[in-house]
Amino acid sequence: MRTLTLALATAALLGLSPTLAFAAEELTAKQAGQVVDTLVTDMNGYFDPARAAKVQAALKAQRGQLVKIHDRQALAEALSAITLKVSEDLHLRVSVATTSAASASISDADQALVDQRLAYGLMAARRLPGNIGYLKLRYFEQEAEGARMIDAAMGLLQHTDALIIDLRENTGGGGASDARLIGHLSKTPLVMAQLHWRKADGGEEIQQREADTPQAGPLYADKPIFVLTGTRTFSAAEGFAYDIQANKRGLLIGTRTRGGGNPSNRPAPALGFGLVVFVPNGQAIHPLTGKGWEGVGVQPDVETPLEGALTEAYRRALAAAKPLVSTPKSEKERADAIADPAAALAADQRL
């Protein structure tokens, strides 16, 4: 869901709120009407024709009020309020993608620059006291650079004794990086979700996602895995958590995720004047369960408040870890961490 997050990421890099970043230009009533009409047409690509028709009817019924909204961000929010309420699909959202209404979309060069500045989704890769690995990802980068980032991070963490993967702030993405991370976690490829795509002729095409195991082999195939989830965990991040849980490869800790399981394999349609919409044309179903996470989210194995999830995962990781070597210094560090995981984490952050 990279296209949707890109505009927000740009605003964040500029130190602005999304509303302030995109409030510089206003639309005329005619231009706002063009945006509404284009959205109605683009709904024909939605995977569920019956729900699409309801959204289209609601948009047409409220067109007279929508064209009175001249601020692009406010229009995007008003349109999203309709699409989300009627469809009950959290992916079906309109966003502002450019800082100028004169630009229909961000250029490929600018998009690549934003991805670079966001480190392809990497927020942290570190060793916690007691030799526990910690990997935090903001989103899953879709392109090959994401897989290379995962390889680099896992290379740093491969000699830790257990791994915590923090997805509490991960809002999705998918593609290269999540498939590669899954590929690092088992010698036998873990089973990923199937994507059921609606074709233009109304038929269905099923795509089985596959783990992308590195050519040299996985770096974390047989050590304990703990995945942190929260209310912001969305889309491809939910898919990753679901894969781990369905394959019984690790333990999910935190709170139930948002429940967005309807993907798209096409660029977000441009509505004009820098607005875009994410129109899902598929559904994710996991072959091991026959179900997905759309509308229900992923329920963690251990439910705990967000602020305590890392400490709980760290405590469990320390208990499950099996160090390959022991020294007086490492044993003291490990013993202190086991005795008070919260204090060990706090001390580690006190730099």
Strand order in the sheet with 225-229: 122-128, 132-137, 162-166, 225-229, 251-254, 302-303
- Regarding whether 330 and 187 lie in a shared domain, the answer is yes
Domain holding 242, by residue range, is 120-260+295-349
The 3-class secondary structure across 73-99, one letter per residue, is HHHHHHHHHHHHHHHCCCCCCEEECCC
pLDDT at residue 25, rounded to an integer:
79
Question: Does residue 283 fall inside a structural domain?
Answer: no
Question: Phi and psi (nearest 5°) for 122?
Answer: -75, 125
The model's pTM is 0.91
Question: Does residue 49 fall inside a structural domain?
Answer: yes
CA distance to 73, 102, 255, per residue, from 97 (Å): 10, 11, 30
- Regarding whether 175 and 223 lie in a shared domain, the answer is yes
pLDDT at residue 281, rounded to an integer:
97
**What is the full DSSP assignment across 138-162?**
SSB--SHHHHHHHHHHHHHHTTSSE
Question: Does residue 136 fall inside a structural domain?
Answer: yes
Cβ atoms of 171 and 232 closer than 8 Å: yes
Of the candidates 111, 131, 165, which is a domain's last residue?
111
Under the phi-then-psi rule, with left for phi > 0, alpha for psi from -120 to 50, and beta for the rest, what region is 286? beta
Sign for the CA dihedral angle at 92, 98, 99, 103 comes to negative
- Regarding whether 301 and 208 lie in a shared domain, the answer is yes
> Across-strand partners of 133?
127, 163
Of the candidates 93, 111, 129, which is a domain's last residue?
111
- Regarding whether 252 and 325 lie in a shared domain, the answer is yes
pLDDT at residue 267, rounded to an integer:
83
- Regarding whether 200 and 104 lie in a shared domain, the answer is no
Residue found under tokens 């289209």: 56
Write out the two tokens for 116. 């670079």
Q: What is the pLDDT along the chain (351 residues), one digit of tens a residue?
A: 344 343 333 343 334 344 444 445 799 999 999 999 999 999 999 999 999 999 999 999 999 999 999 999 999 999 999 999 999 999 999 999 999 999 888 888 998 999 999 999 999 999 999 999 999 999 999 999 999 999 999 999 999 999 999 999 999 998 899 999 999 999 999 999 999 999 988 899 999 999 999 999 999 999 999 999 999 999 999 999 999 999 999 999 999 999 999 999 988 889 999 999 999 999 999 999 999 999 999 999 999 999 999 999 999 999 999 999 999 999 999 999 999 999 999 999 886
d(C-alpha 226, C-alpha 165), whole Å: 6
- pLDDT tens string 109-141: 998 999 999 999 999 999 999 999 999 999 999
CA distance to 43, 92, 126, 290, per residue, from 203 (Å): 17, 21, 46, 20
- Regarding whether 127 and 209 lie in a shared domain, the answer is yes
How many distinct helices (H) and strands (E) make up the chain?
Answer: 13, 12
Question: Does residue 284 fall inside a structural domain?
Answer: no
Question: Does residue 333 fall inside a structural domain?
Answer: yes
Q: Which candidate, 2, 233, 237, places its Cα nearest to that of 97?
A: 2
User: What residues contact 326, with CB distance under 8 A and at least 6 apart?
Assistant: none
- Regarding whether 124 and 107 lie in a shared domain, the answer is no
